[in-house]
């Protein structure tokens, strides 16, 4: 076995961790996911394409590059 390593933890971080750990699973899951509006993607409930090529073409033509869906 190796030697244990002691790490100093900021007391505020520890307090925040302890508070988060004390929350119920339901509360933790509710706050675990942050919805970020994605332009164009979130504007319609769904889209369908005849092929992957058609999907990729649509992404390249309609979505901002920062979303990362383009194939260029």
DSSP annotation of 66: G
Integer-rounded Cα radius of gyration of the chain = 22
Domain boundary assignment for the chain? 11-67
Q: Are 67 and 41 in contact, with CB atoms under 8 Å apart?
A: yes
Give CA–CA dist 24/32, Å, rounded.
12
User: Per-residue pLDDT for 21 more than 70?
Assistant: yes
Give CA–CA dist 55/61, Å, rounded.
10
pLDDT tens track for 39-60: 898 999 989 999 999 999 999 9
Mean pLDDT of the chain: 88
């Amino acid at each position: 076995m190796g030697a244990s390593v002691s790490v100093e933890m900021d007391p505020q971080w520890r307090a925040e961790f302890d508070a988060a750990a004390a929350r119920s699973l339901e509360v933790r899951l509710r706050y675990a996911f942050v919805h970020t509006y994605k332009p164009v993607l979130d504007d319609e409930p769904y889209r369908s394409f005849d092929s992957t090529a058609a999907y990729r073409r649509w992404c390249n033509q309609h979505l901002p590059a920062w979303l990362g869906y383009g194939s260029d």
